[in-house]
Amino acid sequence: MAQEIDLTVKSKFIKIYKEGYPLISKESIVSWDKVREEGSVLNLVDEKGKFILKGYHGVQNKGYGWALSIDKDEKIDRAYFARKIKPAVEYRKDFYNDESTTAFRVFNGEGDGIGGLTIDYFDGFYLLTWYSLGIYEFKSDILEALKNSVKYKGMYQKKRFDSKGKYLDDEDDFICGDKAEAPILVKENGTNFAIYLDDGAMVGVFLDQRDVRKTIRDTYAKGKTVLNTFSYTGAFSVFAALGGSSKTTSVDLAKRSLNKTKEQFLVNKIDVDKQDIIVEDVFNYFKYALKKNLLFDVVVLDPPSFARSKKHTFSASKDYVNLLKEAINITNKGGIIVASTNSANVSMQTFNDFISKAFKELNGKYEVKERFSLPKDFRVLEKFKEGDYLKVVFIKKVE
C-alpha cells in the first residue's frame, strides 16, 4: 500500500480543489517537504486539518500530482482503478461496436478520473501511456484492473516521464498477452492505418484528429489540391486522397516521414507516385512555394506545440500568426485552411484571435466554416479546461 501523507493547502487554493480542479500544484501546498517519493498518496487538508481530497504525487508538466477521490476513506488499490476503468470502457461501447473504426481512446487521464494515464485501443491491443513516475508506481494494480475489465489480445506501454520530458526507451514496450505484428492494420472510419506499438514514442497516427480527417475526406477534398504540412505519417493526406483530391503534397522535416507516409498510402491502395512526399523544413517549403507561385486549394496546418529545426524554432503561442500568414499566401481564393493546435496554453478564443490577426495583417478576408475540439472518446473534465487541448478551425479564404 502506498504511503499516505497529509498536506495542508494554502487558503487561496482551497476553493478550486473543492470545486473539482484536479491538478495539484506545488505552490498550493504549505510545505511540500513532507513529500519525497512519487506515487505517494496525498490527503489534502485545510489549515484546520479538515479533509479536502485524496490524490497522488506525480510530476507532470506544471503539476505535482492529481486528485483521485473526495472520499477520505478511499483506498487507492486495484478495486479503485477497476471502478474507474470499467465505466470508461462502457462510455466507449459505441466505438467497440463500430467495425469501421478499430482505434480509439479508452481512458483519457483526468477526464476519466485518473490524471497522468491514458489507454488506447488498437484492434484488440491496449496501449497504456504513463505520464509520470507517480502513476507508474501503481502499474501492477492498474494492469490487473484493466485485464479484469476488457478482453484483449495483448498490452503495451509507453513511458513519458523522464526529467527532460522525453520518451523513455529503456525496455520493451510489450507487457503481456500476444505480441502484435509490426505493423498491425487498424481502421478509422473505414480507412486503414499501419500502427507500430513497439517502435518508439509514437505509433503512427494521432487519434484525436479522427473527426477532422473524416471531414476533410467527406466534405473538402474532392477535386482539390491539398498541402499537408508537419505531415508526420501523412494521415491527412491519405484521407484527402480517398476523398478524391486531385493531388496531395505532404511536407515534414523528419526523414522517416517519407517511408511512413508511403506505407500509409500503400495500405489504402493509393498510388504513391501520384502524390508528393517532401522531406523539408515546412518554413523553407513555404518560401519555395511562394517563389514558384504554387497555390493550393486546401492547406492543413497541424504543427507541434513546440518544434526546433536548424534554422527555425516554432512555438504555437508565439509564432502561429506568422505560420497562418505563410499558409494564406499560398492558398487559392476560395480555398480552405485547416488550422490546428494542440497547445493547452492556447484557448479557442486566443486561437480565433490568431486567425483574425493573420488575415488583418495581410488585408485579407475569411469565413470560418467549422470548428472542432476533442472527439467523444477523448473525454474531458469540465473543471479542467486545459485538458480540452485540441482546437481546429476550417477557414475559407474569401479574398
- In this predicted structure, what is the pLDDT of residue 166? 45
| Residue 103 three-state SS | strand
**Model pLDDT for residues 310-331, shown as the tens digit of each residue:** 677 777 888 999 999 999 999 9
Residue 307 predicted with pLDDT over 80 = no
**Model pLDDT for residues 116-128, shown as the tens digit of each residue:** 999 999 999 999 9
Torsion of CA 24, 30, 33, 37, to 10 degrees: -20
Can you tell me the distance from the alpha carbon of 248 to that of 226, in angstroms, rounded to the nearest whole number?
5
> What confidence tier does 202 reach under pLDDT thresholds 50, 70, 90?
confident
pTM above 0.85, yes or no: yes
Residue 304 predicted with pLDDT over 90 = no
| Strands 23-24 and 63-69, bridge-based pairing | antiparallel
- In this predicted structure, what is the pLDDT of residue 120? 98
CB 366 within 8 A of CB 339: no
Directed axis angle between helix 348-361 and helix 316-329, to 10°?
40
User: In the chain, what are the domains?
Assistant: 4-69 (2.30.130.10), 78-182 (3.30.750.80), 206-397 (3.40.50.150)
Name the more confident of 374 and 160. 374
Task: Lowest mean pLDDT of 29-43, 75-89, 136-150, 168-182, name the range.
Answer: 168-182
Share of the chain above pLDDT 90, in %: 89
CB 303 within 8 A of CB 323: yes
In sequence order, which residues have a C-beta less than 8 Å from that of residue 252 and are 6 or more positions away?
Answer: 229, 230, 231, 232, 261, 278, 279, 280, 282
Residue 167 predicted with pLDDT over 50 = no
In sequence order, which residues have a C-beta less than 8 Å from that of residue 158 and are 6 or more positions away?
Answer: 127, 128, 129, 130, 167, 173, 201
**Model pLDDT for residues 59-72, shown as the tens digit of each residue:** 998 899 999 999 99
Residue 199 predicted with pLDDT over 90 = no
DSSP string, 128-181: EEE-SHHHHTTHHHHHHHHHTTS--SEEEEEE--STTSPPB-SS-SEEEESPPP
Asked if omega into 183 is within 30° of 0 (cis), the reply is yes
How many helices (H) and strands (E) would you count in the chain? Answer: 11, 21
- Pull the grid cell for residue 114: 485518473
Q: What is the mean pLDDT of residues 85-98?
A: 98
In sequence order, which residues have a C-beta less than 8 Å from that of residue 258 and are 6 or more positions away?
Answer: 277, 279
* Residue 35: other Cβ atoms inside 10 A: 17
Q: What is the mean pLDDT of residues 51-65?
A: 94
Residue 141 predicted with pLDDT over 50 = yes
> What confidence tier does 3 reach under pLDDT thresholds 50, 70, 90?
low
Residue written as grid cell 474569401: 398
Residue 169 predicted with pLDDT over 60 = no
- In this predicted structure, what is the pLDDT of residue 358? 97
- Pull the grid cell for residue 379: 473525454
Can you tell me the distance from the alpha carbon of 215 to that of 221, in angstroms, rounded to the nearest whole number?
9
> What confidence tier does 162 reach under pLDDT thresholds 50, 70, 90?
low
Q: What is the mean pLDDT of residues 350-363?
A: 97
> What confidence tier does 168 reach under pLDDT thresholds 50, 70, 90?
low
Half-sphere exposure of 264 (CA within 13 A, CB side): 30
Q: Alpha helix locations (H) across the chain? A: 11-18, 78-91, 93-96, 133-136, 139-147, 210-215, 235-242, 256-266, 282-291, 316-329, 348-361
- Pull the grid cell for residue 53: 481530497
**Which strand (E) or helix (H) includes residue 336?**
strand 331-341
- In this predicted structure, what is the pLDDT of residue 314? 77
- Sign of the alpha-carbon torsion through 136, 142, 144, 146: negative
- Pull the grid cell for residue 261: 507516409
Q: What is the mean pLDDT of residues 221-232?
A: 97
DSSP lists the bridge partners of residue 249 as 227, 276
* Residue 310: other Cβ atoms inside 10 A: 6
**Which strand (E) or helix (H) includes residue 394?**
strand 391-397
> What confidence tier does 219 reach under pLDDT thresholds 50, 70, 90?
very high
